Copies of this chain bind each other. A is one copy, B any other.
Amino acid sequence: MPVLRDGLTAVFEPRRVALVGASDQPGKTGEVFWRNLSSFPGEIVPVTSSAGAVGGQKAYPTLTAVEGDIDLAVIVVPAAAVPAVIRDAGAKGVSAAIVISGGFAEAGPEGIRLHYQLMTAAHAGGVRIVGPNCFGVQNCDLPLNASLAAGTPRGGGGISLVTQSGAYGMAIHSLGLDEQIRFAKVYAAGNKADIGDAELLRYLADDPASRTLCFFLESLPDGRAFFEAARRVTPRKPVIVAKTGRSVAGVRAAWSHTAGLAGSERVWRAAFEQAGVILAHSGLEMMDVARALDAQPPPAGRRVAVITNSGGTGVELADLLADEGLEVPELSAMVQDELRPLLPPFASPSNPVDITPVWSRFAELYPLLVDRLARSGEVDAVVPVLLHRSASDERVAAGVRNAVARLRADGVLVPVYVCWVAPRASRPNADLLQSGGVPCFEWPERTARALGHAARYGEARARVRWSVQAKARARTRLPPGWLDAVAGAQVLADAGIPLVAGKTCTNADEARAAAEDLGYPVVAKVLHPAIVHKTEAGGIRTGLRDGQAVQMAATELLALAPGAAVLVQRQATGIEVVMGGLRDPQFGPVVVVGLGGIFVEVIDDVALCLAPIDDEDARHLLSDLRGYPLLTGTRGTRPVDLDALAAVIRAVGDLLVAAPEIAELDLNPVLATDGGCVAVDWRILVENPPAQDEERVGFSPRHAGESALRPS
Q: Which residues of A contact B (CB under 8 A)?
A: 102, 106-107, 163-171, 174-175, 177-178, 216, 218, 242, 244-248, 281-285, 309-313, 315-316, 318-323, 328, 344-348, 354, 356-358, 387-388, 421-424, 427, 443-445, 597-599, 601-603, 605, 626-627, 629-630, 634-635, 702-708
20 A-B residue pairings within 8 Å (CB atoms)? A165-B315, A166-B312, A171-B313, A178-B424, A218-B315, A244-B312, A247-B318, A284-B443, A284-B445, A285-B445, A312-B703, A348-B704, A354-B703, A356-B705, A356-B706, A356-B708, A424-B424, A424-B427, A598-B599, A603-B626
Does the CB pair B705–A346 fall under 8 Å?
yes
Shortest Cβ distance from residue A339 to the other chain B in the assembled complex, whole angstroms: 15
Shortest Cβ distance from residue A323 to the other chain B in the assembled complex, whole angstroms: 8
Q: Considering the chains assembled together, what is the distance between the CA atoms of A106 and B346 in angstroms?
A: 8
- Residues of B near A322 (CB, < 8 A) are 246-247
Does the CB pair A320–B704 fall under 8 Å?
no
B242, B344, B598: the one within 8 Å of A705 (CB)? B344
- Residues of B near A318 (CB, < 8 A) are 247-248
Select from chain B the residue with minimum beta-carbon distance to A309.
Answer: B167
Shortest Cβ distance from residue A598 to the other chain B in the assembled complex, whole angstroms: 6
Does the CB pair B316–A168 fall under 8 Å?
yes
Q: Considering the chains assembled together, what is the distance between the CA atoms of A635 and B576 in angstroms?
A: 14
Q: Considering the chains assembled together, what is the distance between the CA atoms of A177 and B425 in angstroms?
A: 11
Does the CB pair B178–A423 fall under 8 Å?
yes
B316, B354, B706: the one within 8 Å of A310 (CB)? B706
- Residues of B near A166 (CB, < 8 A) are 312
- Residues of B near A630 (CB, < 8 A) are 598, 602
- Residues of B near A163 (CB, < 8 A) are 312
Shortest Cβ distance from residue A387 to the other chain B in the assembled complex, whole angstroms: 5
Select from chain B the residue with minimum beta-carbon distance to A322.
Answer: B247
Closest 7 CB pairs of A and B: A165-B312, A311-B703, A167-B310, A356-B705, A346-B705, A247-B322, A168-B312
Does the CB pair B174–A319 fall under 8 Å?
no
CB-CB under 8 A for A313 and B708, given A423-B177, A598-B634: no
Select from chain B the residue with minimum beta-carbon distance to A313.
Answer: B168
B177, B218, B348, B598: the one within 8 Å of A312 (CB)? B218
Does the CB pair A388–B174 fall under 8 Å?
yes
CB-CB under 8 A for A282 and B320, given A387-B171, A630-B598: yes
Q: Considering the chains assembled together, what is the distance between the CA atoms of A311 and B348 in angstroms?
A: 49
- Residues of B near A285 (CB, < 8 A) are 445
Q: Considering the chains assembled together, what is the distance between the CA atoms of A102 and B635 in angstroms?
A: 53
Task: Give the interface centre of A216, A248, A344, A603 by most chain B CB atoms within 10 Å.
Answer: A603
Q: Considering the chains assembled together, what is the distance between the CA atoms of A246 and B317 in angstroms?
A: 11
- Residues of B near A599 (CB, < 8 A) are 598
Q: Considering the chains assembled together, what is the distance between the CA atoms of A388 and B282 in angstroms?
A: 17
- Residues of B near A164 (CB, < 8 A) are 312
Select from chain B the residue with minimum beta-carbon distance to A535.
Answer: B636
Does the CB pair A171–B388 fall under 8 Å?
yes
Number of copies: 2
Shortest Cβ distance from residue A33 to the other chain B in the assembled complex, whole angstroms: 16
Q: Considering the chains assembled together, what is the distance between the CA atoms of A328 and B320 in angstroms?
A: 29
Does the CB pair B171–A421 fall under 8 Å?
yes
- Residues of B near A423 (CB, < 8 A) are 174-175, 177-178
Does the CB pair B282–A445 fall under 8 Å?
yes
Q: Considering the chains assembled together, what is the distance between the CA atoms of A69 and B167 in angstroms?
A: 64
CB-CB under 8 A for A168 and B705, given A218-B315, A319-B244, A320-B281: no
- Residues of B near A601 (CB, < 8 A) are 629, 634-635
- Residues of B near A178 (CB, < 8 A) are 423-424
Q: Considering the chains assembled together, what is the distance between the CA atoms of A356 and B285 in angstroms?
A: 24
Q: Considering the chains assembled together, what is the distance between the CA atoms of A706 and B355 in angstroms?
A: 9
Task: Give the interface centre of A218, A310, A387, A702 by most chain B CB atoms within 10 Å.
Answer: A310
Task: Give the interface centre of A246, A328, A358, A629 by most chain B CB atoms within 10 Å.
Answer: A246
- Residues of B near A284 (CB, < 8 A) are 443-445
Does the CB pair B704–A347 fall under 8 Å?
yes
Does the CB pair A704–B356 fall under 8 Å?
yes
- Residues of B near A597 (CB, < 8 A) are 635
- Residues of B near A422 (CB, < 8 A) are 171, 174
Shortest Cβ distance from residue A154 to the other chain B in the assembled complex, whole angstroms: 15
Shortest Cβ distance from residue A635 to the other chain B in the assembled complex, whole angstroms: 7
Does the CB pair B245–A310 fall under 8 Å?
no
- Residues of B near A309 (CB, < 8 A) are 167
Select from chain B the residue with minimum beta-carbon distance to A602.
Answer: B629
Does the CB pair A165–B313 fall under 8 Å?
yes
Select from chain B the residue with minimum beta-carbon distance to A103.
Answer: B346
Does the CB pair A168–B598 fall under 8 Å?
no
Q: Considering the chains assembled together, what is the distance between the CA atoms of A630 and B603 in angstroms?
A: 10
Q: Considering the chains assembled together, what is the distance between the CA atoms of A601 and B357 in angstroms?
A: 46
- Residues of B near A708 (CB, < 8 A) are 346, 356-358
Shortest Cβ distance from residue A279 to the other chain B in the assembled complex, whole angstroms: 13
Select from chain B the residue with minimum beta-carbon distance to A311.
Answer: B703
- Residues of B near A347 (CB, < 8 A) are 704-705
CB-CB under 8 A for A315 and B702, given A167-B357, A357-B167: yes
Q: Considering the chains assembled together, what is the distance between the CA atoms of A318 and B247 in angstroms?
A: 7
Does the CB pair A311–B165 fall under 8 Å?
yes
Shortest Cβ distance from residue A606 to the other chain B in the assembled complex, whole angstroms: 14
Shortest Cβ distance from residue A624 to the other chain B in the assembled complex, whole angstroms: 14
- Residues of B near A246 (CB, < 8 A) are 319, 322
Q: Considering the chains assembled together, what is the distance between the CA atoms of A174 and B315 in angstroms?
A: 20
Does the CB pair B310–A165 fall under 8 Å?
yes
B168, B177, B344, B388: the one within 8 Å of A167 (CB)? B388
Shortest Cβ distance from residue A625 to the other chain B in the assembled complex, whole angstroms: 10
Q: Considering the chains assembled together, what is the distance between the CA atoms of A712 and B3 in angstroms?
A: 77
- Residues of B near A165 (CB, < 8 A) are 310-313, 315
- Residues of B near A106 (CB, < 8 A) are 346
- Residues of B near A320 (CB, < 8 A) are 281-282
B107, B283, B603: the one within 8 Å of A603 (CB)? B603
Select from chain B the residue with minimum beta-carbon distance to A314.
Answer: B703
- Residues of B near A705 (CB, < 8 A) are 311, 344-347, 354, 356-357
Q: Considering the chains assembled together, what is the distance between the CA atoms of A675 and B488 in angstroms?
A: 43
Task: Give the interface centre of A218, A423, A598 by most chain B CB atoms within 10 Å.
Answer: A598
Q: Considering the chains assembled together, what is the distance between the CA atoms of A283 and B442 in angstroms?
A: 12
Select from chain B the residue with minimum beta-carbon distance to A536.
Answer: B636
- Residues of B near A443 (CB, < 8 A) are 282-284
Q: Considering the chains assembled together, what is the distance between the CA atoms of A132 and B387 in angstroms?
A: 22
Does the CB pair B310–A168 fall under 8 Å?
yes
